[in-house]
Amino acid sequence: MSGTPQISVHRDKDEMAQATAARLIARIADAQAERGAASVVLTGGRNGNGLLAALAASPDRDSVDFSRLDLWWGDERFLPEGDPERNVTQAREALLDAVPLDPSRVHEMAPSDGAYGNDVEAAAEAYAAELAAACAVDGPAHGSAHVPPFDVLLLGVGPDAHVASLFPGHAGVRETERSVVGVRGAPKPPPVRISLTLPAIRTAREVWLL
């Protein structure tokens, strides 16, 4: 990630969602035209889900070839599959189930009742391995965090200034090598989560804070 930060101010969250959806459609279409595919990291929360809903409703959404779109997540609530609080569940309701994605390009973080059970550290390591494996397909690793090249990485910002599930004062904020960490004792429920780290976030071509 490089360049001068840019700030866009909108009247309300609905206008922000619509404007951001339009920008995201354009970025994805440009990346696909240039490189054949695009890679986006999704975020949850009201603003993240509002953006996805606005994209679903956009008349320009067909500018995106959803079959050539890779989707990752910046963080996830470590809850059972299908739990309404999971970011992937909310994303599917807002957009993903309505567009023709390639299932092999939708990279969900593991649920707490999945292959790793309630071992959030093992689930985080598995997601890091999935990211690293994508590097072999999409190009060399970027920095110490072995992740594929993300075109746009979306983040919300909490009242305590946390991004993804990296909370002030927690060990994950200080991680310098790993791309993904398990989070325990998060001050915002649920307390157990999976999150990309700052080294992974910084590799993205563009990081958008909503």
Distance of CA 26 to the CA centre of its chain: 18
Lowest mean pLDDT among 129-133, 145-149, 163-167, 180-184: 145-149
Percentage of the chain modeled with pLDDT above 70 = 94
CA angle 189, 118, 184 (to 5 degrees): 40
Task: State residue 138's pLDDT score.
Answer: 55
Taking the C-alpha atoms of residue 126 and residue 103, their distance in angstroms, rounded to an integer, is 18
In a domain, 2, yes or no: no
pLDDT at 141: 45
pLDDT in tens, 1-25: 557 889 999 999 999 999 999 999 9
- Residues 37-91 have pLDDT tens digits of 999 999 999 999 999 999 999 999 999 999 999 999 999 999 999 999 999 999 9
**pLDDT (0 to 100) of residue 145:** 62
Q: How far apart are CA 121 and CA 110, in angstroms?
A: 11
| Within-domain flag for 61 | yes
5 domain-assigned: no
Q: Is 182 exposed, middle or buried (0-12, 13-18, 19+ CB in 10 A)?
A: buried
- What total number of domains does the chain contain? 1
Assess if residue 1 is contained within a domain.
no
Among the listed residues 12, 8, 18, the one whose alpha carbon sits nearest the alpha carbon of residue 59: 18
CA contacts within 13 A on the Cβ side of 41:
32
Pair of tokens at residue 20: 């951001």
* CATH code: domain of residue 106: 3.40.50.1360
Alpha carbons within 13 A on the beta-carbon side of 125: 6
Average pLDDT over residues 135-156: 75
Give me the domain span that covers residue 19. Answer: 13-209
Residue 90 lies inside a defined structural domain of this protein: yes
Provide mean pLDDT across the span 166-182. Answer: 95
CA 149 to chain centre: 13
Q: What is the pLDDT of residue 3?
A: 75
Residue 8 falls inside a structural domain: no
CA distances from residue 109 to 12, 55, 124 in whole angstroms, order as listed: 31, 22, 8
The answer to whether residue 7 sits within a structural domain is no
In one-letter notation, the amino acid at residue 129 is A
- Residue 177 domain flag: yes
The answer to whether the CB of 48 falls within 8 A of the CB of 42 is yes
Note whether 101 and 63 are within 8 A (CB): no
pTM recorded for the entire structure: 0.93
SS3 7: coil
